[in-house]
Structure 1
Amino acid sequence: MATGWAGDGAVQDQIDATIADAIKRARSQAPRGPSLKHCEECEKKIPEARRKAVPGVRLCVPCQEEHDKQQAAHSGYNRRGSKDSQLR
């Protein structure tokens, strides 16, 4: 049921758009190209097992974890799923 100026399905459309944006962002940040043998942040050697498991890897595990923490802090997505967070 629509309320106010929103049409039927408007909230679901916003949710779908938010998910599509998150998928697009994740794909754009996926590693590409050949894996590096040394971390581009700290220059430590990246183990061969990691290079095989993650094609195009550029960071060692500790640097990747730190990078992921920083990305999560700035992601802009409300993971609790409040209605207000879905409406831009």
Structure 2
Amino acid sequence: MVDLVEMAEEFQAMNLQEKINARTQFTVPSHDECDDCGEDIPVQRQALGGVTRCIECQTKFEAKQKHFR
């Protein structure tokens, strides 16, 4: 008998990997400082590529964008 929990976990793991693979890959270098507030952007965040805002400013930006859609 097939274990439904194992099947669900495998499906979820595959689905997560597909989402990771489908993520937009940025080739543009990240900025060292936030465009909005001028604070330093952490190196881990810069590693994503194409980053122009610190986490706080990006969160605010995305919240504003939600209301305009």
TM normalised by structure 1 equals 0.47
Larger helix proportion of the pair:
2
Does 1:48 pair with 2:43? yes
Deviation at 1:34, TM superposition (A): 1.1
Runs of at least 4 residues off by over 3 Å: none
> Aligned AA for 1:46?
I
Unaligned runs of 5+ in 2: 1-23
TM normalised by structure 2 equals 0.60
How many residues are paired up? 46
Does 1:37 pair with 2:28? no
Unaligned runs of 5+ in 1: 1-26, 76-88
1:63 to 51, 57, 67: 57
